[in-house]
């Protein structure tokens, strides 16, 4: 065996390892000494991590490391750094009236960015990352507002929510006309057809629009207005525009009139700080539908 | 411990000979005319198992001898120029007006800007770097196809600094023989003093190298003052420390090991070279068989062949990587040409023609062996292709640089929602528009769109004084939300539109295209 190991390759003059595969022999060209020592050093260095950082799992805990470092405290301290970095602008934002934010370009850009980040985190789950909404969740990009689209009105909605249980929440109740026996099925059908007609939508053939109009005047006009343009005091939707929270099909309207719909939005005061709510207000207002 | 291989150049040669031409050559030429590679000494018979042999390759210390000649002079000149550029560039000034640094070459990391004389690069223009890298790679390939490892031999920082460090070594510890003698003489006070002086000078050069490095990242005169008065940021001292360490270790201690073991280029170069490339070559057709001056005279008198090589080993002694060029193409050879200088000096002394070792091609060795005249072909398919690629990329970069505007606009269509139906039935699309002002002064821009007749533009977050004016600070970008509302009865699902940006004062413009989306079927 030993003789095989001393085999020297005739072309290169290099000794081989003695390993041979299908007539191909492996040359023995070891690594330089410094390279190997560097490798050993890195291994020793790596062991230093066991001592300094959290490393080994124990039965109920882990070795916490000499530095006491943890990813959780690192995040907290970085968040605190971020907070103190933003503190001057946040102080300025807190002291600026909602309507005046726009006059300060730097502050406006800051507020917009803060609002966008906060919106994605807190509002996005229902309203969508871009505020595009979904069935039952209003699109905040359009110019149709249930409770008003001025800065102050948006702020109020965000702060106290809609039917959130908060004292100052936006409150109103669409009655369940069918379920509670106030209207019969054919009356509901007729009023639904009438609502489609004032929105310039085609109506079902055979619908009694005159009857529907009377039913509307008696039951709906109180909140939605005699012209159907809605009332932001009660969060009563405008029934004449092209925007429908739950759909404009007759079946969808019938469903609402019969069983009612009362969406809920949580109150954010107490959950978000006032500056964040201010930034959210500004952001939502700037999505495209903001009113004066 | 007994080891068969201690010569890195031999191991290196295997790699280099992976090239086809090299294989062919070794097959044809080696047995007859190259000195056969000495067989490895047999292993110590007392060592039964191979496993008992060391796992490492011990380093062979190299004492490069001082040499003078054409290539040495070229190397000194290149060293002076390249080090001069490196150390002095940060102090060059270039006036860019207010709100911009006046340092000619500056990498401003905190503001994400790169300044190079009249050029200012923003992070989004980092493709210039891609272009530079392509040009650098192709230039390297071109150099290699024309004249081998010019980069390694003359221009590589590893070579330049090692050269400087070796000069310091010769200055303090003496030239090759003196140095070797002193090392064998044990630890005398003189040797300690000389070693101390060497390491001190090395560290000074390394320290200044690190010092110059950080000056590329901040205003040089200010930083020098701050460094001297200990008021510079910690990161500056840290980087000086890191570069001092790497320079000292790489140029002082690692030297040829970097070229032999750490650098990928020798391997790539071996695969890229061909029979037309000028490489530092031992003209074995002239040199072999080797014999001393007296012996060759005797051989010639007897009518026997004798080559010009007198086996004086000067070429090996001056080599900074310790290779023997006479063994043929060699991975360890950085082709600096110092062996040419050394050999020429010997040839001059013994009255034989110069350039026994020279920049020559593999092809010409063969041709001369066959009695043909040497032939040089620099315009080959590959060199032309390299030149074409360099010209094309350089052209594109020049064009991009010349047509670079001082303002730009980029548009990002809202993805959620893609479009919004307003209460009056109109369709609205929202866009995030980013405006870049690449001038060092505050500018005002107006925005408009084309491609959608009867549409309304609204720029959120701007002053409202009749038109939409967006102010952008000096050398900054600004993002604004732009709403486009179309009142058409039935807009098509997708309409191409263009956003136009105008500088209110100068009228300079920029444009970007996007689409206006609407629900299918109105």
Query: What is the ipTM for the molecules in this complex?
Result: 0.80
Model pLDDT, residue B155: 95
Q: Which residue of A has its CA nearest to B5?
A: A14
Q: Does B11 touch chain A (CB under 8 A)?
A: yes
Model pLDDT, residue B324: 93
Model pLDDT, residue B28: 40
Q: Does B479 touch chain A (CB under 8 A)?
A: yes
Average pLDDT on B462-480 reads 81
**DSSP structural state of residue B91:** G
Separation between Cα atoms, residue A241 and residue A228, nearest integer Å = 9
Confidence of residue A85 (pLDDT cuts 50, 70, 90): very high
- The residue ranges of DSSP E strands in B32-122, in sequence order, are 56-57, 105-108, 113-116, 119-121
Model pLDDT, residue A82: 94
Q: Does A53 touch chain B (CB under 8 A)?
A: no
Check pLDDT > 80 for residue B3: no
Confidence of residue A184 (pLDDT cuts 50, 70, 90): very high
Label the pairing between strands B455-459 and B420-421. unpaired
How much is the CA Rg of chain A, to the nearest whole Å?
Answer: 35
Least-confidence region, from A8-12, B61-65, B202-206, B372-376: A8-12
Average pLDDT on B22-30 reads 40
Burial class (CB in 10 A: 0-12, 13-18, 19+), B133: exposed
Task: Report the mean per-residue pLDDT for chain B.
Answer: 86
Give the pTM.
0.77
Token pair listed for B360: 């020559």
Find chain B residues with C-beta within 8 A of A34's C-beta: 59, 254, 257
Contacts 24+ apart (CB under 8 A), B386-391: B386/B138, B386/B139, B386/B141, B386/B142, B386/B145, B387/B142, B389/B134, B389/B138, B390/B135, B390/B138, B390/B139, B390/B142
Token pair listed for B119: 């050029």
Model pLDDT, residue B130: 92
Separation between Cα atoms, residue B341 and residue B75, nearest integer Å = 12
Q: Which residue of A has its CA nearest to B45?
A: A2
CATH topology of domain A185-259: Cytochrome Bc1 Complex; Chain D, domain 2 (1.10.760)
Q: Which residue of A has its CA nearest to B42?
A: A6
CB nearest to B461's CB, from A102, A129, A133: A102
CB nearest to A33's CB, from B26, B57, B479: B57
Encode pLDDT of B397-413 as tens digits.
999 988 888 999 999 99
Secondary structure (H, E, C), B437-462: ECCCCCEEEEEEEECCCCEEEEECCC
Least-confidence region, from A71-80, A160-169, B436-445, B447-456: B447-456
Check pLDDT > 80 for residue A66: yes
Separation between Cα atoms, residue B401 and residue B125, nearest integer Å = 10
Separation between Cα atoms, residue A209 and residue A190, nearest integer Å = 6
Model pLDDT, residue A71: 92
CA distance to partner chain B, nearest, from residue A127 (Å): 10
In whole angstroms, how far apart are CA A134 and each of A6, A232, A264, B188? 78, 20, 14, 88
Contact criterion met (CB < 8 Å) for B50 and A17: yes
Check pLDDT > 80 for residue B55: no
Average pLDDT on B415-424 reads 88
Task: Report the mean per-residue pLDDT for chain A.
Answer: 91
Model pLDDT, residue B5: 40
Please give the angle made by the CA atoms of B70, B76 and B80, to the nearest 5 degrees.
Answer: 145
Confidence of residue B22 (pLDDT cuts 50, 70, 90): very low
Model pLDDT, residue B116: 92
Please give the angle made by the CA atoms of A156, A159 and A165, to the nearest 5 degrees.
Answer: 105
Check pLDDT > 90 for residue B19: no
How much is the CA Rg of chain B, to the nearest whole Å?
Answer: 33
Model pLDDT, residue A257: 95
Check pLDDT > 70 for residue B176: yes
CA distance to partner chain B, nearest, from residue A62 (Å): 33
Q: Say if A85-94+102-168+266-286 and A185-259 have the same CATH topology.
A: yes
What number of CA atoms fall less than 13 Å from residue B294's CA on the CB side?
Answer: 0
Q: What percent of chain B has pLDDT over 70?
A: 88
**Contact between residue B287 and residue B335 where contact means Cβ atoms under 8 Å apart:** no
Model pLDDT, residue B521: 66
Helix, coil or strand: residue A32:
strand
Separation between Cα atoms, residue B300 and residue B276, nearest integer Å = 33
Confidence of residue B252 (pLDDT cuts 50, 70, 90): very high
Q: Which residue of A has its CA nearest to B413?
A: A130
Q: Which of B24, B51, B414, B421 to mutate to probe the A interface, most A CBs <10 Å? A: B421
Q: Is the C-alpha dihedral spanning A16, A19, A22, A26 positive or negative?
A: negative
Outline where B49-188 has alpha helix (H): 70-88, 127-147, 150, 157-173, 176-184
Separation between Cα atoms, residue B377 and residue B382, nearest integer Å = 11
Question: B471 phi and psi, to 5 degrees?
Answer: -90, 135
**Contact between residue B81 and residue B164 where contact means Cβ atoms under 8 Å apart:** no
Going along chain B from its start, the domains and CATH numbers come out as 8-58+274-369 (no CATH), 70-129+153-263 (no CATH), 407-517 (2.60.40.10)
**Contact between residue A222 and residue A263 where contact means Cβ atoms under 8 Å apart:** no
A&B contacts, CB < 8 Å: 133
Check pLDDT > 60 for residue B40: no
Q: Does A28 touch chain B (CB under 8 A)?
A: yes
Separation between Cα atoms, residue B24 and residue B22, nearest integer Å = 5
Q: Which residue has the higher pLDDT, B255 or A15?
A: B255
Find chain A residues with C-beta within 8 A of B39's C-beta: 8, 13
Separation between Cα atoms, residue A215 and residue A256, nearest integer Å = 15
Average pLDDT on B334-361 reads 93
Element (H, E) at A88: helix A71-95
Model pLDDT, residue B410: 94
Find chain B residues with C-beta within 8 A of A242's C-beta: 421-425
Average pLDDT on A132-141 reads 92
Residue A286, preceding peptide bond in cis (omega within 30° of 0): no
Contacts 24+ apart (CB under 8 A), B72-77: B72/B338, B72/B341, B74/B154, B74/B337, B75/B153, B75/B154, B75/B163, B75/B336, B75/B337, B75/B338
Q: Where are the domains of chain A?
A: 2-52, 85-94+102-168+266-286, 185-259
Helix, coil or strand: residue A94:
helix
Cα-Cα-Cα-Cα dihedral of A32, B269, B318, B24, to 10°? 100
Model pLDDT, residue B52: 58
Check pLDDT > 80 for residue B53: no
Confidence of residue B461 (pLDDT cuts 50, 70, 90): low
Q: Does A130 touch chain B (CB under 8 A)?
A: yes
CA distance to partner chain A, nearest, from residue B114 (Å): 25
Taking the mean position of all CA atoms in its chain, how far away is CA A47? 43
Contact criterion met (CB < 8 Å) for B257 and A31: no
Model pLDDT, residue B465: 60
**Contact between residue A131 and residue A139 where contact means Cβ atoms under 8 Å apart:** yes
Check pLDDT > 90 for residue A255: yes
In whole angstroms, how far apart are CA B477 and each of B13, B106, B128? 55, 20, 20
Token pair listed for B230: 């200990």
Separation between Cα atoms, residue A164 and residue A268, nearest integer Å = 10
Q: Which residue of B has its CA nearest to A32?
A: B57
Separation between Cα atoms, residue B329 and residue B17, nearest integer Å = 7
Among B367, B339, B465, B350, which Cα is nearest to B70's? B339
Model pLDDT, residue B65: 94
Taking the mean position of all CA atoms in its chain, how far away is CA A290? 20
Q: Which residue of A has its CA nearest to B417?
A: A132
Model pLDDT, residue B454: 73
Encode pLDDT of A51-65 as tens digits.
999 999 999 999 999
Encode pLDDT of B66-104 as tens digits.
999 999 999 999 999 999 999 999 999 999 888 889 999
Confidence of residue A165 (pLDDT cuts 50, 70, 90): very high
Confidence of residue B522 (pLDDT cuts 50, 70, 90): low
Question: B9 phi and psi, to 5 degrees?
Answer: -65, -30
Check pLDDT > 50 for residue B20: no
Encode pLDDT of B482-513 as tens digits.
999 988 878 889 999 999 999 999 999 999 99
Q: Is the C-alpha dihedral spanning A69, A72, A77, A78 positive or negative?
A: positive
Separation between Cα atoms, residue B5 and residue A170, nearest integer Å = 88
Q: Is the C-alpha dihedral spanning B456, B460, B465, B470 positive or negative?
A: negative
**Contact between residue A143 and residue B421 where contact means Cβ atoms under 8 Å apart:** no
Token pair listed for B11: 């191991």
CA distance to partner chain A, nearest, from residue B118 (Å): 30
Confidence of residue B37 (pLDDT cuts 50, 70, 90): very low
Among A197, A228, A200, which Cα is nearest to A210's? A197
Element (H, E) at B499: strand B494-503
Separation between Cα atoms, residue A253 and residue B289, nearest integer Å = 106
Query: For A189, left (φ over 0), alpha (ψ -120 to 50), or beta?
Result: alpha
CATH, domain range A85-94+102-168+266-286: 1.10.760.10
Among A237, A190, A243, A242, which Cα is nearest to A218's? A190
Contact criterion met (CB < 8 Å) for B59 and A139: no
**Contact between residue A264 and residue A163 where contact means Cβ atoms under 8 Å apart:** yes
Average pLDDT on B380-395 reads 96
């Amino acid at each position: 065996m030993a003789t095989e190991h001393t085999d020297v390759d005739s072309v290169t003059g290099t000794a081989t390892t003695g390993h041979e595969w299908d007539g191909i022999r492996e040359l023995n060209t070891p690594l330089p000494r410094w390279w190997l020592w560097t490798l050993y050093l890195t291994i020793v260095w790596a062991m230093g991590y066991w001592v300094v950082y959290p490393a080994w799992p124990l039965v109920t805990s882990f070795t916490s490391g000499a530095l006491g470092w943890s990813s959780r405290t690192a995040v907290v301290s970085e968040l605190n750094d971020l907070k103190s970095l933003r503190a001057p602008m946040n102080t300025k934002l807190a002291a600026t009236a909602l309507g005046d934010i726009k006059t300060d370009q730097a502050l406006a850009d800051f507020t917009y960015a803060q609002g966008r980040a906060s919106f994605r985190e807190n509002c996005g789950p229902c309203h969508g990352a871009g505020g595009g909404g979904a069935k039952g969740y209003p699109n905040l990009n359009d110019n149709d507002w249930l409770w008003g689209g001025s800065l102050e009105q948006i702020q109020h909605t965000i702060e106290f929510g809609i039917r959130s249980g908060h004292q100052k929440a936006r409150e109103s109740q669409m009655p369940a006309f069918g379920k509670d026996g106030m209207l019969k099925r054919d009356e509901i059908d007729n009023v639904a057809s009438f609502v489609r007609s004032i929105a310039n939508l085609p109506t079902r053939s055979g619908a009694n629009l005159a009857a529907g109009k009377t039913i509307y005047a008696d039951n709906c006009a109180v909140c939605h207005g005699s012209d159907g343009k809605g009332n932001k005091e009660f969060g009563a939707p405008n029934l004449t525009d092209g925007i429908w929270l739950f759909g404009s099909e007759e079946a969808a309207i019938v469903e609402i009139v019969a069983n009612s719909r009362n969406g809920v939005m949580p109150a954010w005061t107490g959950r978000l700080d006032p500056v964040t709510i201010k930034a959210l207000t500004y952001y939502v207002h700037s999505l495209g539908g903001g009113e004066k | 411990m007994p080891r068969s291989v201690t010569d890195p150049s031999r191991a290196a040669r295997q790699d280099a000979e992976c090239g086809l031409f090299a294989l062919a050559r070794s097959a044809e030429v080696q047995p007859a005319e190259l000195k056969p590679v000495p067989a490895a000494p047999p292993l110590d018979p007392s060592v039964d198992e191979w496993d008992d042999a060391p796992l490492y390759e011990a380093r062979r210390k190299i004492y490069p001898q001082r040499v003078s000649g054409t290539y040495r002079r070229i190397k000194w000149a290149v060293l002076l120029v390249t080090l001069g550029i490196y150390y002095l560039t940060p102090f060059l000034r270039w006036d860019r007006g207010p709100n911009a640094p006046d340092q000619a070459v500056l990498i401003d990391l905190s503001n994400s800007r790169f300044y190079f004389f009249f050029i200012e690069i923003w992070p989004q223009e980092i493709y210039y770097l891609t272009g530079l890298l392509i040009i650098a790679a192709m230039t390297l390939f071109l150099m290699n196809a024309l004249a081998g490892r010019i980069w390694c031999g003359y221009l590589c920082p590893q070579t330049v600094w090692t050269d400087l460090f070796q000069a310091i070594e010769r200055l303090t510890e003496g030239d090759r023989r003196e140095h070797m003698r002193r090392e064998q003489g044990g630890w005398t006070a003189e040797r300690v003093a000389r070693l101390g002086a060497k390491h001190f000078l090395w560290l000074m050069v390394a320290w200044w190298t690190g010092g110059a490095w950080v000056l590329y990242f901040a205003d040089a005169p200010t930083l020098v003052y701050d460094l001297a008065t200990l008021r510079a940021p910690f990161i500056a001292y840290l980087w000086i420390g890191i570069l001092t360490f790497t320079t000292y270790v790489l140029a002082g201690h690692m030297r040829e090991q970097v070229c032999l073991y750490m650098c990928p280029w020798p391997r790539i170069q071996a695969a890229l070279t061909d029979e037309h490339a000028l490489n530092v070559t031992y003209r074995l057709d002239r040199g072999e068989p080797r014999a001393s001056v007296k012996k060759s005279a005797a051989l010639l008198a007897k009518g026997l062949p004798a080559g010009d090589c007198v086996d004086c080993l000067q070429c090996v002694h001056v080599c900074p990587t310790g290779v023997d060029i006479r063994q043929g193409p060699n991975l360890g050879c950085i082709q600096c040409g110092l062996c040419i200088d050394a050999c020429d000096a010997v040839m001059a002394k013994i009255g034989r023609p110069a350039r026994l070792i020279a920049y020559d091609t593999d092809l010409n060795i063969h041709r001369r062996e066959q009695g043909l005249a040497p032939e040089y072909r620099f315009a080959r398919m590959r060199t032309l292709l390299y030149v074409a690629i360099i010209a094309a990329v350089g052209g594109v970069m020049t064009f991009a640089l010349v047509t670079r505007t001082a303002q730009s606009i980029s548009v990002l269509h809202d993805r959620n929602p893609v479009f919004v139906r307003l209460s009056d039935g109109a369709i609205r699309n929202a866009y995030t528009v980013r405006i870049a002002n690449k001038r060092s002064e505050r500018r005002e821009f107006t925005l408009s769109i084309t491609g959608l007749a009867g549409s309304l533009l609204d720029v959120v977050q701007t002053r409202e004084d009749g038109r939409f004016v967006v102010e952008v600070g000096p050398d900054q970008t600004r993002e604004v939300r732009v709403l486009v509302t179309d009142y058409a009865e039935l807009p098509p699902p997708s309409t191409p539109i263009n956003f136009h940006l105008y500088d209110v004062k100068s009228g300079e413009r920029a444009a970007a295209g996007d689409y206006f989306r609407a629900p299918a079927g109105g």
